[in-house]
Amino acid sequence: MKAYRIHITSWTASFRYPNLISGFQPSLPVPPLSTIYGLISAAAGNYVCASDVAAGYVFRHEGQTIDLETIYQFSVKSPLKTKSNVIRRQILFDTALWLYLEDAEIAERFLTPEFQLLLGRSGDLASVVSVDETELEPEATLDRLRGTVVPMKTVPLGAPIQALPVSFTNEIPRRNMGTRPFFMLEHDFDQPEPIPESGFYDPALGFQIYWHDYRDEMSVM
């Protein structure tokens, strides 16, 4: 399959766990799909979600630490007043993301993105290293997945599970779309058993790619 491989890097990244509002803020080890579609939307300059395009990706980071961060909290009763608070946040360092898309027009928009690209929070600025056309080889089963998320379905993997939305709606307040359990596979994940899922292989980088295609099921939500 002809596809476009977009190589993105950043100094830092932090992917917020859902449902954690205060206290320690750990980072997901890999970006959730909603972050991927946020990146695509930022590059394209318009709202793009899982019902519009399919995608695959591989993420890697070289280290992590815990940082102290000052936040300012607004009060519902006095919206013009804030109070500061210090929280502990997990940060991933020296990150790289390889994003795969079929859509040539959207892929090319990453060369001149409409908005800033972020891998997590507003300070996690990302840069586009390259956008390359490539040929992905189809795979009948997947046994070397890493650096991505995989829907739980019926096949177990020895990896942490997190309920995550596939996308968010384009409204205020945003709503979760297609929340489901995902396996979180870090880049050093050693997959013990193959799973009967089809996907693709990038021979240039040696990545096996789980292909996230929710266009049929999300379009009827």
pLDDT in tens, 73-93: 777 777 778 888 888 999 999
Domain holding 32: CATH number?
3.30.70
* Residue 200 in tokens: 């693709």
Domain count, the chain: 1
* Residue 135 in tokens: 């040929």
Give the per-residue SS3 of the chain: CEEEEEEEEEEEECCECCCCCCCCECECCCCCHHHHHHHHHHHHCCCCCCCCCCEEEEEEEEEEEEEEEEEEEECCCCCCCEEEEEEEEEEEEEEEEEEEECCHHHHHHCCCCCCCCECCCCCCEEEEEEEEEEECEEECCECCCCCEEEECCCCCCCCCEEEECCEECCCCCCCEECCEEEEEECCCCCCCCCECCCEEEECCCCEEEECECCHHHHCCC
Q: What b/e string do you get for 85-114 counting C-beta neighbours within 10 Å, with b at 16 or more?
A: eeeebbbbeebbbbbbbbbeebbebbeebe
Q: Which value, to the nearest 10 degrees, does the dihedral of the CA atoms of residues 19, 117, 201, 27 take? A: -30
Tell me how far apart the alpha carbons of residues 174 and 59 are, in angstroms, rounded to a whole number.
26
The answer to whether 182 and 151 are in contact (CB under 8 A) is yes
* Residue 90 in tokens: 């997990």
Distances (CA, A) of 87 to 18, 68, 84, 126, 217: 16, 6, 10, 24, 39
Find tokens 């394209």 and name the residue.
44
Q: 69 is in which domain, residue-wise?
A: 2-219
Full pLDDT tens readout for the chain, 221 residues:
999 999 999 999 999 887 776 678 899 999 999 999 999 999 999 999 998 999 999 999 999 999 998 888 777 777 778 888 888 999 999 999 999 999 999 999 999 999 999 999 888 999 999 999 999 999 999 999 999 999 997 678 889 999 998 888 888 888 888 889 999 999 999 998 898 888 999 999 999 999 999 888 766 55
> How confident is the model over 189-200, as pLDDT tens digits?
999 889 888 899
Query: Any residues with CB less than 8 A from the CB of 103 and at least 6 apart, and which?
Result: 4, 53
